[in-house]
Amino acid sequence: MIISMHKRIIFVITYELMMKKNYSQYPKHLLAVDCIIFGFDGNNLKILLIKRNFEPKKGEWSLMGGFIGDNETLDSAANRVLISLTGLENIYLEQLRVYSEVEREPTARIISVSYYALINIENNFEINEKYNAQWFDLNDFPELIFDHNLMVNHAVARLRYRASTQPIGFELLPVKFTMRELQSLYEAIFDETYDKRNFISKINSLDILIKTNEKDMRSSKKGSFLYRFDEKKYRNKIAKGYIFKI
């Protein structure tokens, strides 16, 4: 029994040394995350960009990103990056895809995993001034460094798909919103114009909104009723096999 245990220990140590030796033969690459941050101002879909303050491409516009720490997962690194820029936690964040072109950055072999986030601009938060960040209309933002424009294109495509199959669009709205605000949001996401009656009929048929007794009086003297998303009802419907489609 003792001899068997000794043999096992020797095998484990030998195996670990062989693995370390084998791993040392392979090149080491840097791993980063880049975040595409979307917001909605009531009329237009926005993207939050930073002005790069170091070379290469110093002074040019970029997505917010950072390298993965030794003790971080990809998700925790992406959350850290968002918190450092906006101070916000527990926001909608979804991993998008991996970018591994050999020459995507000129200084080193950097593999990046992109995420996109949805932020309600009306939330009370402050953007960290050191990043020189600015909101731009999604239809009118400056050229970005490296492959960041491609990341944005992929993020827009994913956002449109998600918004058509689940109600993630509500992440971009205040807790209470008008039907007009909801329609404007979906028109901004899909870059389309919808007939008001048809849109309201479609939304009402989903049966996932709660109509409040409150009104937004900014649009007219009569005002517009405010609604809120009923997440509990939505979860119950999904559990019964309901398929969301806008």
- The CATH number given to whatever domain includes residue 178 is 1.10.10.10
> Could you tell me if residue 161 is inside a domain?
yes
Which residues neighbour 116 within 8 Å (Cβ) at sequence distance 6 or greater? 35, 36, 37, 38, 93, 94, 96, 155, 158, 159
**What's the whole-number average pLDDT of the chain?**
90
- Hey, what are 211's tokens? 């109509």
Q: How far apart are CA 129 and CA 137, in angstroms?
A: 20
Which of residues 165, 200, 219 is at a domain's end? 165
- Is the pTM here over 0.85, yes or no? yes
> Could you tell me if residue 42 is inside a domain?
yes
> Could you tell me if residue 23 is inside a domain?
no
pLDDT tens for each residue of 102-117: 999 999 999 999 999 9
> Could you tell me if residue 245 is inside a domain?
no
> Could you tell me if residue 17 is inside a domain?
no
pLDDT tens for each residue of 162-180: 999 999 999 999 999 999 9
Q: Where are the alpha helices (DSSP H) in 41-193?
A: 74-86, 148-165, 179-190
> Could you tell me if residue 104 is inside a domain?
yes
Query: Which domain does 218 fall in, by range?
Result: 173-239
pLDDT at residue 35 above 70? yes
Judge if 223 and 144 occupy the same domain.
Answer: no
Judge if 41 and 116 occupy the same domain.
Answer: yes
| Cβ–Cβ < 8 Å for 114, 35 | yes
